[in-house]
Amino acid sequence: MNATFTLHPLTADDFETIALLGAAIWRKHFIGMISREQIDYMVSGRYTPEKLSRYLDAPDRWFRLLRVEGRLIGYCSYALAEPPGEMKLEQLYLLEKMRGRGLGGRMMDEVEAAARAKDCATLMLTVNRHNTDAIAVYQKRGFSVREEVAADIGNGFVMDDYVMVKALI
């Protein structure tokens, strides 16, 4: 990837843009894994100003925007988790047409470096059990499945996920 890419912190001015980008990515990527109704439900609750503002100047969570040649094409978020010494990769999303260029790996590098800087021994994430492409990418980066979880997220919807972990030490 020869194009110039940058990762920079979320600001309040980015909220609307992130909501639009997140909705576009979710509606394209997850439609074969979960219903359109569940996607709409999750998107409507995930990208609210109240939820996004939790990342502004927070000491325990971060949200980074990925731009290539100045154009927003993806984002990631991560937070300190329980138990202590563990960081959670909360989100890592990239426009479909930008996948396969190492950009997701660049975001993952950012998250792993942040986890190490906070003395975290483990990086964990949750991934839909039917998201085989993402699971394969995470496995190539050294993640393994710790457990399976089915979480009720309200409105009759369930997240059917794997919890995956990677040792950082």
Assess contact for 15 and 56: CB atoms under 8 A.
Answer: no
- What pLDDT does 122 receive? 98
Residue 83 or 142, more confident? 142
- What pLDDT does 104 receive? 93
- What pLDDT does 26 receive? 94
pLDDT in tens, 94-151: 999 998 888 999 999 999 999 999 999 999 999 999 999 999 999 999 999 999 999 9
- What pLDDT does 100 receive? 87
Q: Considering the entire predicted model, what is its pTM?
A: 0.92
pLDDT in tens, 1-54: 566 889 999 999 999 999 999 999 999 999 989 999 999 999 999 999 999 999
Q: What ranges in the chain are assigned the alpha helix state H?
A: 15-29, 36-46, 49-52, 103-117, 132-140
- What pLDDT does 34 receive? 94
164 confidence band (pLDDT: 50, 70, 90)? very high
